[in-house]
Amino acid sequence: MSESKCPFHGATTTVNLGTQNKDWWPNHLNLDILRQHDVKSNPLNEIDYREKVKSLDLEAVIKDLKFVMTDSKDWWPADYGHYGPFFIRMTWHAAGTYRTGDGRGGAATGAQRFAPLNSWPDNGNLDKARRLLWPVKQKYGNALSWADLLVLAGNVAIEDMGGPNHGTALGRNDIWHSEKDIYWGSEDEWLGDNRYGKTRQDLENPLAAVQMGLIYVNPQGPNENPDPALSAQDVRETFKRMAMNDAETVALTAGGHTFGKAHGADSEDFKGPNPEAAEIHEQGFGWTSGFKSGKGVHAITSGIEGPWTPNPIRWDMDYLKLLFKYEWECKKSPAGAWQWHPINCAEEDMVPQVDGSDEKVLPMMTTADMSMKVDPEYNKICKSFLENPEAFGEAFAKAWFKLLHRDMGPKSNYITGDYKDVDYSWQDPVESSPQLSNEKETAVRAAIADSGLSQLALIETAWASASTFRQSDNRGGANGARIRLEPQKNWAVNKPEQLQGVLESLENIASNLGVSIADTIVIGGAVGVEMASGRKVQVTTGRGDATQENTDIDSFNLLKPKACGFRNYSEKEFAVSPEEIMLDKAQLLGLNPVELTVLVGGLRAMGVSHSGDGIWSNGKLDNSWFKKLLSMEVKWEKTGHNSYVAKDRHTHQVLRSASRTDLVFGSNSELRAIVEVYAADDSKEKLLNDFIAVWNKIMNADRFDLM
């Protein structure tokens, strides 16, 4: 009997065994992104890491890491006797996946342990770096997450080699399987790049890397074209999408490449499969090389070969000095990769061989490095740093800290650590505010109820404020009340004219009673839901108000929803369906399928719909919306890309309209099963309880101080 028909294997555990639902129905809406990282996959579910990490002896960990740095192992020897540059690369590549478009990626989850990141070409041989850290992880166990360790190791490395550093904030929780929600690109081969429009700046959103399997840019140049000017375009665009300006980009490039070397001893044909594709006996190791020893001087990683500076394990100014001291010529490495070497290199600038032998080798630069010299703006910044080493060191430390912590959100998520206690605008700072007394909250509620503001306006304003939250990088949310500031107050989805009137009333109430506008907005939403449900909605107060000064307009504009299924809003027709966009937002909000269903149905029941579709009841929070969705008394007909009408089966009269983000709850079998629960006659109370619970979940999503 053939293997494919083995009767003892009844599960479809591989893509090649058994035709699965996705094969039969490739366009089926996949809800799996709302079910990832649940308690079933987490072996530490009973442990509160935010509390556990507080017990960590950080000084002891740092001491152990410094020992590891110089404890060279035969199975993967330390370049120049120090693993520091190797760990810096590991840290850089863990954090460097962050992208501003959707806030996904970054170092906050320890995702580098899993596919696809663990097997990306750009992460070649970083599996060894993580194995070198295992003794430290083993020693400190559950008090030190992999996510924190991957960041901490790079910072300790910088410090141990004399570099400037603003320290490490700890408090990152590990995930336990590959992320299902992150779109890394549509390419079906490593280093493919069908992610562009007509120009190199027309990079597909939300991507922030030039090719599949790279962190930022191809170091050899765009598609291995060694043109520094073209490379500068890629560098600027990708770093911008990672929240870095030109000065930060230069500081990170020049500072990071002060350390270490690239490996390309011979043809990449010698490299074995990546970790995910390696055979079982490799035990998670990948890229096993058949070239001589396969390590040290014989290692093959990027294909580029050589160090950047004469002393690759010390912080100094040599990267910038060499960049401008020499004219550089483009040549190929032993592995066939394009790189640059100084013309007529002085003996003093030659570099000892990586194994500590007497051999000397030329320093090198990548095409991306050369862009720092060729691009006029980068050139100007480089020369400024070269003239002022202190400013360079400070710029690197700040940019590096931002790189590692950008996806942690506000400082309230910094549980412990040795970080410099400095406030940055990219942390979205909000002034703290005390929780309101019962008397004060009652007074606010009464004032809102007497204000004449409608139920719908109150609900829509609170939702617009809170629903900007995204758990990917902990940005947005109701805390700070940035909905009253640029750019959010003018977003079309927020009904700016209505919003202005509501905010004027709520700001007057907040001012008169001495409470924050942020709390007043959320209390207003609770009052609106109470009007619709007849049920008391508890509110957790204590939100502060952000200022326009501490709000980066360009950065916050990236949170603007171009389509919002929760509000039946869409700017235009997109390549992906409205329901897929809604699902993406639901994941960013941290919703599961049940919460998504009850939230949308409840919002529609109360009248929330920008287009007017999906409004089938009298504004009361009850299960009438779910009942009408399941009704067989009507037949739905398509009237446009995202518009449908329900006609009476007998009279053919048009009774109601809907969008795709309404009807998907009836068409998708999994969502319909949930709708049937709430449409049942005995689920009226359940609906109220569940809706209020998920409503408060969204209102409090950015209240990290309550965790």
Catalytic positions are 93
**Residue 71 main-chain phi, psi, to 5 deg:** -95, 75
Contact (Cβ atoms closer than 8 angstroms) between residue 294 and residue 246: no
Q: For residue 58, give the H/E element and its range.
A: helix 58-70
Tokens read off for 606: 């109360």
Rg (CA), the chain: 28
State the DSSP code for 224.
G
Please state the length of the chain. 707
| Region of 474 on the Ramachandran plot (φ > 0 left; ψ -120 to 50 alpha; else beta) | left
Sheet of strand 654-658: strand arrangement: 634-640, 643-648, 654-658
- Collapse the DSSP code of 364 into the 3-class scheme (helix H, G, I; strand E, B; otherwise coil) and give the result: coil
Helices (H), 261-311: none
Those residues whose C-beta lies under 8 Å from the C-beta of residue 499, and which sit 6 or more positions away, are 461, 464, 483, 489
Tokens read off for 37: 């990282």
- Collapse the DSSP code of 8 into the 3-class scheme (helix H, G, I; strand E, B; otherwise coil) and give the result: coil
From residue 15, how far is each of 20, 23, 44, 131 by CA, in Å?
9, 10, 29, 29
Q: How far apart are CA 703 and CA 412, in angstroms?
A: 9
The dihedral built from the CA positions of residue 476, 482, 485 and 489, taken in this order, carries a sign that is positive
**How many other CB atoms are there within 10 angstroms of residue 336's CB atom?**
13
**How many other CB atoms are there within 10 angstroms of residue 259's CB atom?**
29
> DSSP string spanning 132-170?
HHHHHHHHHGGGS-HHHHHHHHHHHHHHHTT------EE
Bridge partners, residue 330, by sequence: 340
Q: How far apart are CA 362 and CA 369, in angstroms?
A: 16
Using CB atoms within 10 Å of the CB of residue 590, give its burial: 0 to 12 exposed, 13 to 18 middle, 19+ buried.
middle
Tokens read off for 237: 């665009």
Residue type, 596: L
State the DSSP code for 706.
G
Q: How far apart are CA 681 and CA 630, in angstroms?
A: 13
